[in-house]
């Protein structure tokens, strides 16, 4: 049962909102006002005189806060102050920058970790363990960036010319714009901020307009650490707002790199806009991920992993399992076991300890779910379980839907139902006979983020991870599509966007590279033996 479920009725700008106790306790613990409009712009000081947007709890439908976004003038000022802050921060020694990141890590790991995780559940809707886990991702990438701050090394290249040395040197890039999505309102920014700061850049963040409170809470934490170290707050600037704010960041020549997480449609626009001014991009777009289960798979591992991959976060992860390809020999048993697990799912308040299914984040998500179910029925797909909203109280106040398993009649991966990603807990199933057929289905869609093969056969494994195997950026064996560690680079191929964030060599995108040739001889020979006497 939700605690003190209430829907607000604001009579005026400064009226007290009728917040439930669960909401007011979480917001107060993070110093977010529960009475006044909340400033949503930060560049060393808090402000906001633009449009007022509302943050709505997807579980109860109550208004959590009204947030003052950036006006066009304020946005211009934030970008200017962020550029000024960069010119200061780039000269701070990298190990010193790492120490500041370590302090951010400590601030997140204190009691704030639980409070901030609860805010993710409150505002985004993901269950408690996932909300806390998302903050843990931010903590972990800070750990990574602290070590990286002493290891962002270049290279020495052997020169063919006597008395010459060649160095490849990484230097700070400039200003990084981060446009993040609602489904990971903390972690994605953390991936970018930690590496950007380690590299010596300033960052300006434009979060999803539906999760402004998470961004305000994070910026509060980060800004206090910066201020205590005498670093300009605009090193980690914030502009809440809608499409216009995102467009301004994509168009700004003062922003060298734009990291965008969102839909393929908008990502294409962002990519073209940034490229038109010769900026750099990191694009994390559609997923549409598949799991393939072979007859030799350990079903005690595969079934629960597919279950989490398809149902976790109510199907709103970029890495959610959306396509399931089952070998004919094990399909009946697998589906029977999977439906048994689906039957155990009970939707509830995501802040409750034992909840496994929270709400969809927004009414737009509800429409996507409803439209997809309607389409499945129109093509005579067999719906094994799910296919409706939860309408009984108190679930009727939120965006709760039934996780769905469907078997479309067509197995053509170029059909609409297979190639278009529906950001909801809908799993489409097809049956195959040969691994080569399943790999072809896996690769035939436009997206290329994550994929999984379940097998104990080494030949299957070798084929799957090799040149004729999965074409996604994340290629798993006996591991679900959903969930990744920060030590490895995260990102996809094809219409997913080719970007890489988090670990691995992702840091190299946040620097500019200089190839420096130094002549310490008494001669000036040309390369390749070119002779040009003067």
Residue 339: CB atoms within 10 Å: 13
Q: Is 381 within 8 Å of 409 (Cβ atoms)?
A: yes
H or E stretch covering 185: none
Burial class of residue 143, CB neighbours in 10 A (0-12, 13-18, 19+): middle
- Residue tagged active-site, from 264, 284, 421, 501: 284
Please state whether 300 falls in left (phi above 0), alpha (psi between -120 and 50) or beta: alpha
Measured between alpha carbons, how far is 532 from 534 in angstroms, rounded to an integer?
Answer: 6
Q: Is 46 within 8 Å of 4 (Cβ atoms)?
A: no
The values of phi and psi at residue 357, to 5°, are -130, 115
Measured between alpha carbons, how far is 485 from 483 in angstroms, rounded to an integer?
Answer: 7
What string of DSSP letters covers 226-263?
A: HHHTT--GGGEEEE--SHHHHHHHHH-TT-SEEEEES-
Return the residue matching tokens 């093509």: 379
The string over 11-27, giving b where at least 16 C-beta atoms fall within 10 Å of a residue's C-beta and e elsewhere, is eeeeeebebbebbbebb
| Beta-sheet pairing, 63-68 with 52-56 | antiparallel
Q: Is 349 within 8 Å of 2 (Cβ atoms)?
A: yes
Active site (annotated) includes residue 264: no
Residue 380: CB atoms within 10 Å: 9
Please state whether 529 falls in left (phi above 0), alpha (psi between -120 and 50) or beta: left
- And the tokens for 512? 């500019």
Return the residue matching tokens 């799993």: 427
- Euclidean distance between the first and the last CA atom of the chain, given in angstroms as a whole number: 87
- Helices 299-311 and 331-343 pack at an angle, to 10 degrees, of 50
What string of DSSP letters covers 15-30?
A: PPP---HHHHHHHHHT
Residues designated catalytic: 284
């Amino acid at each position: 049962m939700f605690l003190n479920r209430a829907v607000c009725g604001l009579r005026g700008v400064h009226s007290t909102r009728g917040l439930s106790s669960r909401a007011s306790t979480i917001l107060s613990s993070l110093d977010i006002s529960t009475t006044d409009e909340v400033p949503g712009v930060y560049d060393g000081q808090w402000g906001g005189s633009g449009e007022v947007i509302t943050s709505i709890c997807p579980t109860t439908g109550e208004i959590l806060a009204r947030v003052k976004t950036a006006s066009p003038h304020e946005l211009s000022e934030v970008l200017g102050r962020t550029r000024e802050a960069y010119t200061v921060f780039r000269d701070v020694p990298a190990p010193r920058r790492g120490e500041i990141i370590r302090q951010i890590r400590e601030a997140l790991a204190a009691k704030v970790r639980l409070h901030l995780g609860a805010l993710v559940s409150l505002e985004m809707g993901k269950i408690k363990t996932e909300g806390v886990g998302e903050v843990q991702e931010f903590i972990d990438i800070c750990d990574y960036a602290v070590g990286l701050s002493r290891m962002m090394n270049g290279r020495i290249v052997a020169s063919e010319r006597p008395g010459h040395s060649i160095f490849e040197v990484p230097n700070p890039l400039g200003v990084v714009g981060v446009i993040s999505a609602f489904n990971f309102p903390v972690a994605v920014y953390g991936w970018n901020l930690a590496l950007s700061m380690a590299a010596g850049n300033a960052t300006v963040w434009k979060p999803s307009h539906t999760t402004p409170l998470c961004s305000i809470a994070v910026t509060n934490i980060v800004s206090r650490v910066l201020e205590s170290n005498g670093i300009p707050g605009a090193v980690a600037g914030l502009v809440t707002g809608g499409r216009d704010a995102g467009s301004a960041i994509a168009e700004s020549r003062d922003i060298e790199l734009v990291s965008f997480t969102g839909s393929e449609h908008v990502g294409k626009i962002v990519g073209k806009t940034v490229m038109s001014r010769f900026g750099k991009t990191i694009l994390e777009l559609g997923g549409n991920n598949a799991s393939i289960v072979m007859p030799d798979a350990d079903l005690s591992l595969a079934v629960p992993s597919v279950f989490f991959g398809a149902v976790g976060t109510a199907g709103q992860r970029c890495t959610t399992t959306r396509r399931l390809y089952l070998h004919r020999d094990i399909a009946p048993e697998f589906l029977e076991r999977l439906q048994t697990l689906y039957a155990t799912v009970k939707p509830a308040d995501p802040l409750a300890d034992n909840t496994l299914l929270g709400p969809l984040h927004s009414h737009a998500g509800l429409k996507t779910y409803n439209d997809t179910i309607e389409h499945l029925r129109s093509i005579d797909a067999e719906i094994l379980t799910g296919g409706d909203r939860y309408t009984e109280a108190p679930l009727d106040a939120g965006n709760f839907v039934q996780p769905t398993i469907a078997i479309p009649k067509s197995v053509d991966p170029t059909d609409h139902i297979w190639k278009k990603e529906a950001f909801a807990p809908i799993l489409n199933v097809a049956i195959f006979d040969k691994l080569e057929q399943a790999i072809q289905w896996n690769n035939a869609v436009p997206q290329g983020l994550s994929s999984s093969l379940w097998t104990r056969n080494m030949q299957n494994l070798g084929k799957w991870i090799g040149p004729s195997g999965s074409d996604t950026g994340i290629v798993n064996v006996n591991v679900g599509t959903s969930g990744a560690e920060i030590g490895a680079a995260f990102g996809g191929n094809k219409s997913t966007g080719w970007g890489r964030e988090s670990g691995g060599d992702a840091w190299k995108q946040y620097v500019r590279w200089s190839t420096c040739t130094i002549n310490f001889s008494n001669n000036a020979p040309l390369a390749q033996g070119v002779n040009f006497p003067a």
